Chain A
Amino acid sequence: MEFKDYYKILGVDEEADLKAIKTAYRRLARKYHPDVSDDKDAESRFKEVSEAYEVLSDEKKRAEYDQLRRYGSGGESFEPPPGWQRGTGGAGAGPGMDKDFSEFFSSIFGGGFGRGARGERGPHSSEDFHSTRGRDLEVEMPIFLEETLEKQQKTIEYQLPRYDETGRAAPQRKTLKVNIPAGVRDGERIRLKGQGAPGFGNGPAGDLYLRIRLVPHPLFDVLGRDLNITVPIAPWEAALGARVTVPTLDGKVQMTIQPGSQSGQRLRLKGKGLRRREQRGDLYAVLKVVMPDTINEQARAHWEALAEKQAFNPRREWENAS
């Protein structure tokens, strides 16, 4: 296993006092906290940082670590010296901790303890090791817009973290059938009680959260419960008006374009948006006037005639501005 240089991880030197270690931890925690950071490696970086802080902020653990560091940091791989007495924790490796620290950490200090454990269950405390609730898990659930209109049955597969008797990680694949209610929103979480990581000792299993991700649609953009679709129209359709067929999530509909319509104009198709409870949002058709790729001779003559006959200056506003 790799030797972890906690001083390097926190960016402090070996002589750093507790105050400097705290400051370094706070700075890095703000930067890499997975609830705050968009960084892809945030979670693993934060784990490293809190592990380093756990050790270096505790006088006793720091002394033990310093001793080992002198012994083992030179080589490529690290094993605790023979006869090394695991530190103050005394519990087996791994499961049940809110902070699942590295194998390196467990090999030195054991596992299953955290900062500030007290008699009551507060936001600071890690739990009583002998009866610990399993961790909550989160799984992303991609859903097509079309699928949000009606209740859907979906099968999800995910890894359930488990540990064998020796405390080694032995994850297990789990499959569940779930009913996704109609009208789910992007980013919404659905909780499946007791389907998370198994508890330790007599502790109950954690929960599983499904995080809904609406798959981007090639035609429709989501705005709350409404949808937008961009409708390309020919210049003459904008000028003269037209009936066009517009796709919606539940089939095609006919839409009337009024004569003299503008590019960017929005037309509302009521009740063709996403479902929210018993209601449906609307679909907004945004017009986009598009020129033909090529103009033949005959058409060109018509455009020229139009240019002569229609008194129109599209840049009239500029004249007042300059």
Chain B
Amino acid sequence: MSLDMHMTVTLHEASHALELDRHYVIEIVEAGIVEPQPRNATPEDWVFDADMLNRMQRACRLYRDLELDWPATALVLDLLAEKEQLQRENHRLHRLLRRFIED
């Protein structure tokens, strides 16, 4: 048997997977931590992908372990994402530079 992937989940399933009551999931969305699709839909019609689930999990850990509120959690996640993006960009430019400049 092999498993197919790229699953998306509803609010109910996300709440189950995160072990959070749905109103917390709604709070997370309202803080702008993830943007379920389609935009402007009612919570019942929201669809989350695996990256969103993962981001919400990280959000919960940060919220709990660093004793943050949701807006601060959103800011931390944004800054971390930006840091990761810059690290990737830096890494890529280093690789490109190494192809042009011999040590």
Interface residues of A (CB under 8 A from B): 26, 29-30, 33, 35-36, 46, 50, 120-124, 127, 133, 136, 153, 176-181, 186-193, 195, 207, 209-210, 216, 221-223, 228, 230, 264, 286, 288
Contact = CB atoms under 8 A, between A and B. Distances in A.
SS of B interface (majority):
helix
20 contacts: A26-B66, A29-B66, A46-B65, A120-B21, A122-B21, A123-B20, A123-B60, A178-B3, A179-B4, A181-B6, A186-B88, A187-B84, A188-B51, A189-B54, A190-B5, A191-B5, A191-B7, A191-B53, A193-B7, A230-B99
A193 B65 CA distance: 26
SS of A interface (majority):
mixed
B76 interface: yes
Given A35-B58, A188-B51, A190-B50, A123 B3 contact: no
Contacts of A230: 96, 99-100
The 3 closest A-B pairs by CB, nearest first: A177-B2, A191-B50, A123-B60
Nearest to B84: A187
Interface in B56-102: 57-67, 76, 80, 84, 88, 92, 95-96, 99-100
A1 to B, nearest CB: 25
Nearest to B70: A123
Contacts of B41: none
B17 interface: yes
A179 B3 CA distance: 6
A50 B2 CA distance: 39
Contacts of B6: 181, 190
Contacts of B84: 187
A122 B24 contact: yes
B30 interface: no
Contacts of A191: 5, 7, 50, 53
A33 B62 CA distance: 8
Given A123-B63, A209-B50, 5 more contacts: A179-B2, A188-B51, A223-B92, A228-B96, A230-B100
A230 B95 CA distance: 11
A262 B80 CA distance: 38
Contact of B2 (A133, A153, A189): A153
A172 B16 CA distance: 25
A33 B65 contact: yes
A176 B4 CA distance: 11
Given A181-B5, A191-B53, A26 B67 contact: yes
